[in-house]
Structure 1
């Protein structure tokens, strides 16, 4: 990475990563309930995105009918909407 970024930029990058890690720990310690909720929400979003990708990939291989794909994507889209509108 040093070849791509250069010594100074790489050093700055590493400092920013360490700072971000400390800040995440600070948030976790100061706001434990909110932190747990946020982690769960991020995980749920990642899983929904994975489900959408799997449905599309499976359909592109012809393993799922087009109408079934559309129904599944609609259900997943509704789930994403509910997740994004939760506090």
Structure 2
């Protein structure tokens, strides 16, 4: 509930939105390691860029010229956020 109370110290901004910080999880009683949590929430630049390109290709193939410019702009901004995040 900390995030809903405005406490951003438990989350981090990423190109795809806000993700919880690893130390924000109470893992007591769970059979999961910190490394497994780290892997679950890791971001891979190549994977994310590929996903963005696949979204673009979907709109090109199935919507074509009818795709609103704002959607194209959102995809472009997503790609820029991904590239900037991994500089």
* Fold-level similarity (TM above 0.5): no
Q: TM-score, normalised by structure 1?
A: 0.45
Q: TM-score, normalised by structure 2?
A: 0.45
Which of the pair has the greater relative contact order for Cα pairs under 8 Å at 6+ separation? 2
Q: In proportion to residue count, which structure has more helix?
A: 1
